[in-house]
Structure 1
């Protein structure tokens, strides 16, 4: 028995149409489905909603709920904004940079490119305040992943005991730190 893949990931949104338009226009996703009902199927509680689904590529689906009768959206004030995010993979650095240019041309603030050694990322926020990451593989991704795979359990055990960052993979951001130091 094993999970096959993620069926969809769902977030709340402020405005379903605005959200669909934003993802279609900025990340080139296709709008594939809308469901709207006055009762929640799983709990049967009366609560009108609009549930929209976007194709994020390769069978990956990103969904949103607009809930007009609920209080305004908030976020966990104890969690920094950089923690909770959704990351999408793009094919290569040229594609990543093309998305960065497109997003910035559309007036969206973009952070990065950040070099994580195994991949490179840009970060930005959607109109609902959700952090989004686009990541492309590093050309050395396969070899670097093997290095990380070899130490993952040791790192987890050390973290569990000490709650301090283990040094097994401190090389991950060495290139980025070296560039900052120059």
Structure 2
């Protein structure tokens, strides 16, 4: 028994139409489905909603609910804004930079390009306040992932015991050291 793939991930939105327009125009996603009901099928709770489905590529579905009868949505005040985010993969750095330029031309404030060694990212917020990351692989990604794979369990075990950042992969952000080791 094993999970086959992600079916969809759902978040709340402030305005269904604005959300669809933003994701189709800013990130070129396809709007694939809308479902609206006055009663929640799983709980039978009377609560009107609009449920949207957008294809981020290859059948990776991002969904949203607009809930007009509920209090205004917010963020968990105990979780920093940089933690909870939705990350999408793009083909390469040229595509990443093109998205950055496209978003900035449309008035979206973009942070990055940030070099995470194994991948490079830009960050921004959608109109609902959800943090979005676009990431592309680093040309050395495959070799770096092999090195990280070799230490992942040791790192997890040490973190579990100490709650301090293990140094097994301290080389990851030290590009000069990585080049010397190669």
Range class of TM-score, shorter chain: over 0.9
Aligned match of 1:174: 174
What is the CA deviation profile of residues 45-79 of structure 1, one whole-angstrom value per residue up to 9, with x for unaligned ones? 00000000001000100000000000000110000
Match of 1:54, SS? strand
Indicate the residue corresponding to 1:46 in structure 2: 46
1:37 is matched with 37
5+ long unaligned stretches in structure 2? 177-182
Give the superposition deviation at 1:175. 3.5
1:52 counterpart SS class = strand
Q: Distance in 2 between matches of 1:50 and 1:83?
A: 27
2:92 is the alignment partner of 1:114: no
Deviation at 1:174, TM superposition (A): 2.2
Partner Cα distance (1:130, 1:173) in 2: 27
- The total of aligned residue pairs comes to 176
Partner of 2:155: 155
Structure 1 residue 173, shift from structure 2 partner: 1.9
Q: How far apart, in 1, do the equivalents of 2:15 and 2:173 lie?
A: 37
- The alignment's TM-score, normalised by the length of structure 2, stands at 0.95
Per the alignment, residue 97 of structure 1 pairs with 97
**Equivalent residue for 1:129?**
129
- State the shift of 1:117 in Å: 0.7
RMSD (CA atoms): 0.9
The 3-state SS of whatever aligns with 2:129 is coil
1:75 maps to 75
> What TM-score comes out, normalization by structure 1 length?
0.95
1:119, 1:138 within 8 Å by CA — same for their partners in 2? Answer: yes
Runs of 4+ in 1 over 3 A off after TM superposition: none
